[in-house]
């Protein structure tokens, strides 16, 4: 009997092997995960949502029984730190938060969502790189600052150093040099008006005596100017006010020795790349050294600027003068010419530099043949 029992066991085992050869040779693959992991990388089956019907649950059970899906594990929310500013559980997909479980994910987008990677991350229009945007912004700022620096009535604090070298002065064709330090300070005096103060402090080298030799260097007569300018958003700026000449020269040959006063006015127009206008004043002496000649003088300075990219510009700003006390042929000095300039920065300090040359087409006896003007203007935008 014992041998019969053994024979039956062997027979049944062999029959089982013959009936299921494929199952033994190719078992269904399953995913074995460590006990502390809940993400499933192999399964493509989605677990049934809470409240699913009995048929869905039965299909899932059969899939697990066949080994084609691995049962998902519930998420233990107690493991998240409640002290975090944003709970880690908030970073989980909405489906996980509602089901309390994590399932396998695929690369395919959910049904009904046709958004592509390019649509979710739209590219910037061609030619709008950060470098080009920054360069365009810098060019715009340079142009705006150049227009403001070229406006003698603008709301900009500046300190120009303007050096004028005149060649061919006197019978011996000597060289005269005048450095004008011209601080410009605008002050708001009301909601509608701006007071722009311009003060000319000349440092002069005057060649003398006429027969040759050295010369005299020192401070000339100081000339403060005041412009009452209406505040406006128009492209036209104008201003009027008084101007004075104080007899501050350190030598008789460097000044006129008279106190003088008169009106001054200016107008500036900005149109596209152009900035143009004029400043004019006339002064008359009313006090001073009685042994010196009376003063009646006109100054007229038209100017025109054409601005390019990166702060470059062309400029012409000749200074025409008339001495009404002089004889007919010696009254006018009329220069013609121009040059170029640029607004740029030295370190963090914005400056306006310009160079111009002028030929005097009309001049008094002993006046210069031509002159060279170099300017460096320190700008202090608010």
pLDDT digits (tens, 9 = 90+) for 3-21: 555 555 555 555 554 444 4
Other residues' Cβ atoms within 10 Å of the Cβ of residue 223: 22
State the CATH number of the domain containing residue 187: 2.40.160.40
Domain boundary among 108, 131, 161: 108
Same domain, 196 and 328: yes
Percent of the residues in the chain that have a pLDDT greater than 90, as a whole number: 55
Alpha-carbon span 34 to 28, nearest angstrom: 19
With CA atoms as reference, report the closest residue to 354 among 380, 379, 378, 374: 374
Provide mean pLDDT across the span 28-43: 41
Residue 52 has pLDDT above 70, yes or no: no
- DSSP β-bridge partners for residue 283: 297
Alpha-carbon span 1 to 22, nearest angstrom: 34
Spatial contact of 264 and 231, defined as CB atoms under 8 Å apart: no
In degrees, rounded to 5, the angle at the alpha carbon of residue 175 between the alpha carbons of residues 171 and 181 is 135
Alpha-carbon span 302 to 317, nearest angstrom: 6
The answer to the question of residue 365 being in a domain is yes
With CA atoms as reference, report the closest residue to 304 among 296, 320, 315: 315
If you average pLDDT over every residue of the chain, what do you get?
77
Please report the pLDDT score of residue 92 as a whole number: 40
Residue whose token pair is 């049904």: 111
- DSSP β-bridge partners for residue 202: 180
Q: Sign of dihedral through CA atoms 260, 203, 277, 303?
A: positive
Spatial contact of 281 and 262, defined as CB atoms under 8 Å apart: yes
Residue 106 has pLDDT above 50, yes or no: no
DSSP for 157-215, written as a single string: EEEEEEEEEEEEETTTTEEEEEEEE--EEEEE-SSSEEEEEEEEEEEEEEE-STTSS-E
Structure tokens at 26: 């190719």
Residue 306 has pLDDT above 60, yes or no: yes
The answer to the question of residue 371 being in a domain is yes
The answer to the question of residue 54 being in a domain is yes
The answer to the question of residue 115 being in a domain is no
Please report the pLDDT score of residue 144 as a whole number: 83
- DSSP β-bridge partners for residue 174: 169
Residue whose token pair is 């160079």: 355
Per-residue pLDDT band at 35 (split at 50, 70, 90): very low
pLDDT per residue over 241-287, tens digit each? Answer: 999 999 999 999 999 999 999 999 999 999 999 999 999 999 999 99
The answer to the question of residue 286 being in a domain is yes
The answer to the question of residue 206 being in a domain is yes
Same domain, 346 and 275: yes
Could you give phi then psi for residue 246, rounded to 5 degrees? Answer: -100, 135
The answer to the question of residue 336 being in a domain is yes
Spatial contact of 351 and 376, defined as CB atoms under 8 Å apart: yes
Same domain, 92 and 149: no
The answer to the question of residue 175 being in a domain is yes
Domain boundary among 53, 85, 108: 108
Structural domain span for residue 235: 143-380
Residue 100 has pLDDT above 80, yes or no: no
Confidence (pTM): 0.64
Please report the pLDDT score of residue 43 as a whole number: 44
Same domain, 41 and 158: no
Please report the pLDDT score of residue 67 as a whole number: 53
Percent of the residues in the chain that have a pLDDT greater than 70, as a whole number: 63
Please report the pLDDT score of residue 13 as a whole number: 55
Same domain, 182 and 68: no
Spatial contact of 91 and 77, defined as CB atoms under 8 Å apart: no
Tell me how many domains the chain contains.
2
With CA atoms as reference, report the closest residue to 155 among 197, 102, 214: 197
């Amino acid at each position: 009997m014992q041998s019969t029992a053994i024979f039956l066991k062997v027979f049944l085992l062999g029959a089982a092997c013959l009936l299921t050869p494929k199952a033994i040779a190719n078992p269904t693959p399953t995913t074995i995960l460590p006990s502390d992991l809940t993400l499933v990388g192999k399964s493509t089956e989605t677990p049934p949502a809470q409240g699913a019907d009995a048929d869905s649950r039965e299909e899932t059970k059969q899939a697990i029984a066949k080994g084609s899906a691995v049962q998902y594990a519930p998420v233990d929310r107690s493991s998240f730190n409640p002290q975090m500013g944003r709970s880690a559980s908030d970073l989980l997909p909405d489906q996980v938060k509602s089901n309390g479980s994590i399932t396998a994910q695929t690369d395919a987008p959910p049904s009904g969502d046709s958004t592509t990677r390019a649509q979710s991350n739209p590219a910037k229009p061609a030619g709008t790189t950060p470098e080009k945007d920054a360069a365009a912004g810098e060019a715009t700022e340079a142009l705006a600052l150049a227009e403001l620096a070229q406006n003698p009535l603008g709301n900009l604090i500046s300190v120009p150093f303007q050096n004028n070298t005149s060649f061919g002065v006197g019978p011996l064709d000597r060289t005269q040099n005048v450095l004008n330090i011209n601080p410009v300070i605008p002050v708001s005096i009301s909601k509608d008006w701006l007071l722009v103060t311009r003060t000319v402090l000349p440092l002069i080298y005057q060649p003398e005596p006429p027969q040759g030799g050295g010369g005299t260097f020192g401070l000339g007569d100081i000339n403060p100017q005041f412009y009452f300018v209406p505040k406006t958003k128009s492209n036209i700026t104008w201003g009027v006010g008084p101007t004075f000449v104080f007899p501050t020269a350190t030598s008789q040959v460097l000044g006129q020795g008279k106190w003088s006063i008169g009106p001054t006015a200016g107008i500036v127009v900005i149109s596209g790349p152009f900035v143009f206008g004029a400043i004019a004043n006339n002064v008359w002496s009313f006090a001073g050294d009685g042994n010196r000649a009376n003063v009646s003088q006109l100054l007229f300075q038209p100017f025109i600027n054409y601005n390019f990219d990166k702060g470059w510009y062309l400029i012409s700003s000749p200074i025409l003068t008339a001495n009404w006390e002089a004889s007919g042929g010696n009254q006018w000095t009329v220069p013609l010419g121009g040059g170029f300039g640029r607004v740029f920065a030295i370190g963090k300090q914005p400056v306006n530099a310009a160079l111009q040359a002028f030929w005097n087409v009309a001049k008094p006896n002993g006046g210069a043949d031509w002159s060279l003007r170099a300017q460096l203007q320190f700008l202090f935008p608010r």
